[in-house]
Amino acid sequence: MISGQLSAEISATCSSLGHFDGLTYAIDPYCKESIKDLIRFLRRDTEDHSVRRFLGSSKVLKTDLVPILIHHSDNDELFDVVLRLIMNLTTPALIVYQEQIPNDKSDRNLYLQLISQLQEGKEAFTDPDVWNVLVKNIGKLLETESYERDEDTSRTLERILILARNVLAVPSDAEYERRPDNDVTVHDKVLWAMHKARMDEIFLYIASSEKEQQVYMHILEIVSLMLREQNPSTLAKSEVQRSFSEKEKDEEELLAFRQAEIKSKQLKVKKYAGTRHFGGTYVMKGVKAAGDKDLIFHKPLDKAVNMEFNFGKKKKKWPKNLQPLKQVSEERKSTFGVRLFLKEFCVDLLNGAYNPLMRRVKDIIERGKSNGDESYYFWAMKFFMEFNRSYNFQVKLVSETLSIETFHFIQTQLENWNDLMMTDQKKIALWSRRMHLALKAYQELLLTLCEMDKSPEEAVRGSSQVLKSRVFYVTEYRDLLAILIHVFKKNRFSKIYMKDLIETLHIFMKMLQKFSEKHRGGLVVQQKKRVVKKSGKKNSKSKSGAQQAANMEAIWDQVGPQLSAVLQSDAQIPTDVVPFDATSHVPIDEQK
C-alpha cells in the first residue's frame, strides 16, 4: 500500500503539470520538473507497483500527459520528457511482472488492476492528433541518416516505436465493450487513428529500409500486434464490395443466432408453464432404484430427459498443475474499413519488405542480440505465408522463409522449448504458446508446399519436390510430429494445440503418400545390404598362410645348425656388425 505522504506528494506533482481550458492545455512553469519527479517516483516504485497503480487510478495519462504531448510537441525538451513518462506508464502488465503471471491471489488482483487501467488509458490514443504528433517527430528523425544520428536521437526514435507497441499490446476488454463482429472496438479505433495519421506508412518505410535494421524487431512486434485479431484468409479475401457468398454467410449466421434465441425463449416458457408448486411424481420405466424397483422421479417432466445420477455429488478437484491448459482465440472480424486498409498494408509489406525483414530478424535471433521472443517471427511467418497463399500466390514474395533452413530452425526451437517446459515449469503457459506458434508456422510451410505443386511453372514444382525430398528423407524432420504427439499432455498444451497438431500430421501423411506414389520405387529411407559369403577368399587366405609357414620352416632348417654352432663355440663376435640404438631418433632401417 502507498503511504499517505507519498500519495500526497504524487497528487501535488500531478496538479502542478497544468490545466486544460477546453481548447489548449496550459502548462505550469515547473511542468517539466514535475514530469521528471513522476519518472523518479516510478523508478523507486515498490514490488506491488503502488506508484504505478496510483497514477493509473488518477488518470493522469488521459487528462494531462496526452494533451501535453499534443499541444506542446514543438518544445523538444518537454516532448522528450513526456514521451519517456508515457512510454513508462503504458508498459504492458506482463512485462512489469517479468513475463510471469502471479499465482498469489492478492498479486493477481493487482495484476488485473494494472490491465484494467491500461485498457482505460488506451482510449486516449484513439485521437488521430496523438499519432499526427508522433508521425511528425519520427519523420524529422528519419530525415537524418542513421550514421549521422547521435545517441539521444536514436533513443527517441526507439521510444516512439516502443510507445506504439505498448498501446497496441493492451488486450481488449470483451466483457466491457461487448462488440460483435463487424463492429468497432477500441483496438480498431486505435488502428484507424494510426491509419489517418499515416503511421502505418512509417512502419512500412522502416521495414523496407536497410538503414533502419536496428529497429526491425520493434517493427515486427508492432505488425503482429496490429494484425493479432485478424484471420489472414478472411483478410486476403476482403473486397471493396462484399461478395454474394459473404453476404449469404452473414445472413446465415444472423438467422442461426435468431433461431437459437427463439428456442431459448420457448424452453423458458415451457419450464414455467403450469403450476409452480407441484412438479409431479413420475416412475422411470426401465431404470431400477436401489430396491430393484422402478425409479421414482420427483422433478418436472422436462428434466427427466436430462436426468443424471451425478446430481448432488462433489466433483473431483484437480490440482492446478494437472488442470487442462486453457487458450482463448482472439480472432474476430473488424469493421469493413479497417479490414480494407489492413489488407493493403499486408500487400505492401509482402511486396516490399517481407523477405529482408524476416532475414534480418532471424539473424538477430540466431546471434542472440534480442531478448529472445521468437514467437513474433513464427507468427509473422504463418500469417503472411497464409495471406500470400489466399490472396495471390507468388513464391518469390515468401522465398526467405521457404527453405530447408526454416524447417531446421522450427525443429530446433520446438525441441528447445519442450526441454524448457520440463525444467522451467513455472512458465509452462509461455513455452506452450510459443510451441503452438511454431507448430502453426510448420503447418503453413507444408500447405505452401502443397500449393507449389499446383503451380503452372515447372521450376516452382521442382523446388517443391526438392524440399519435400529433404523433409521426408531426414529422420529429424520426419519424426518431429510423432515426437510432439508422444510428449503431449493436457496440462501442458491446449485443445486448440492438439487440433492443430493432428491436422498438421494429417497434411504431412497425405503429402508423404502422394510423394511415395509419384516415385514408383517408393520412399526408400535406408536399404540393408546383403552380406555375400565368399569362400574363395578364405581358401586363398588359408593356402597363403600354409605356404608362408612352410617357407619359414625351410629357412629355420638352414639357419638352425649355424646358430647352434656359434652358441657352442667361443667365437668372437665380429666387430664390423653395429647394433641399433633404441634411444636414437634415427630410424632402425637407417642404422643398419
Helix 428-453 to helix 458-473 angle (10° resolution) is: 140
User: Is pLDDT at 592 greater than 70 in this prediction?
Assistant: no
How is the chain split into domains, by residue range?
A: 1-124, 402-519
- Please report which residue ranges of 487-534 form alpha helices under DSSP H: 495-518
290-348 residue pLDDT tens:
777 888 877 776 676 677 777 677 777 777 777 777 777 778 888 888 889 999 999 99
- C-alpha cell at position 72: 506542446
Contact 415, 438 (CB under 8 A): no
Tell me how crowded residue 152 is: count the other CB atoms within 10 A of its CB.
10
Binned at pLDDT 50, 70 and 90, residue 531 comes out as low
| DSSP-assigned letter for residue 212 | G
For the stretch 162-206, pLDDT in tens is 999 999 999 887 777 667 667 788 899 999 999 999 999 999 999
The pLDDT value given to residue 506: 95
User: What are the tens digits of pLDDT across the range 432-462?
Assistant: 899 999 999 999 999 999 999 888 888 988 8
At residue 310, the pLDDT reads: 74
Q: Would you state the pLDDT for residue 430?
A: 86
Say which DSSP state 61 is in. Answer: I
Whose cell is 520493434? That residue is 218
- Higher-confidence position of 280 and 39: 39
Per-residue HEC secondary structure of 123-161 comes to HHHHCHHHHHHHHHHHHHHHHCCHHHCCHHHHHHHHHHH
Which has more confidence, 55 or 272? 55
Return the bridge partners of 508, or none: none
The DSSP code sequence of 439-483 is: HHHHHHHHHHHHHHHT-S-HHHHHHHHHHHHHHHHSHHHHTHHHH
Residues 514-526, mean pLDDT to the nearest whole number: 69
Nearest to 122 by CA among 148, 90, 146: 90
Give tens-digit pLDDT for 256-271: 888 888 888 887 776 6
**pLDDT band at 576, cuts 50/70/90?**
low
How much is the pLDDT for 421? 87
With beta carbons less than 8 A apart as the criterion, state whether 174 and 97 touch. no
pLDDT band at 286 (very low <50, low <70, confident <90, very high): confident
Residues pairing with 296 in the sheet: 283
pTM: 0.78
pLDDT for residue 240 is more than 70: no
Task: Examine the pLDDT at 537 and tell me if it is beyond 80.
Answer: no
Q: What is the mean pLDDT of residues 379-402?
A: 91
Helices (H), 209-323: 216-226, 232-236, 244-271
Give me the pLDDT at residue 575, please. Answer: 62
Backbone phi, then psi, for 285, in 5-degree steps? -70, 135
481-500 pLDDT per residue, tens: 999 999 988 888 888 999 99
